[in-house]
Amino acid sequence: KAGVTQTPRYLIKTRGQQVTLSCSPISGHRSVSWYQQTPGQGLQFLFEYFSETQRNKGNFPGRFSGRQFSNSRSEMNVSTLELGDSALYLCASNLGRYDDEQFFGPGTRLTVL
């Protein structure tokens, strides 16, 4: 069974631009969560999508948004990029229950110049 895939793996953007990251969950998984990892803050929850609906949201500004498609693939978008948005963005998927094991993808490394 293929794991969680994320594209692109690396991105370089400049301040003020916007970016879209993509995540394909494990086949059969209906929940997709996004996390941001930085050296200073560690791993922080961005949001979770389940059956095309945002089910939960972390404490991030509205510049961070996402969506989920009918095939469970998810995208997250960051508008008006800031230097502090430079991070590893990780996507995780599971079947959808709160006690399910989470499986993570390899991440997208975003650098904002």
Contact positions with other proteins (CB under 8 A) in 4-43:
4, 6, 33, 35, 42-43
Quick note: the x/- pattern for other proteins over 38-77, rule CB under 8 A, is: ----xx-x--x------xx-x-------------------
Please state, in angstroms and rounded to a whole number, the distance separating the CA atoms of residues 31 and 98. Answer: 10
Q: Three-state DSSP class for 61?
A: coil
Please state, in angstroms and rounded to a whole number, the distance separating the CA atoms of residues 24 and 75. Answer: 9
Q: Which of 61, 62, 45, 49 is nearest to 22 (CA)?
A: 49
Residues near other proteins (CB under 8 A) are 4, 6, 33, 35, 42-43, 45, 48, 55-56, 58, 88, 90, 92, 98-99, 101-107, 109
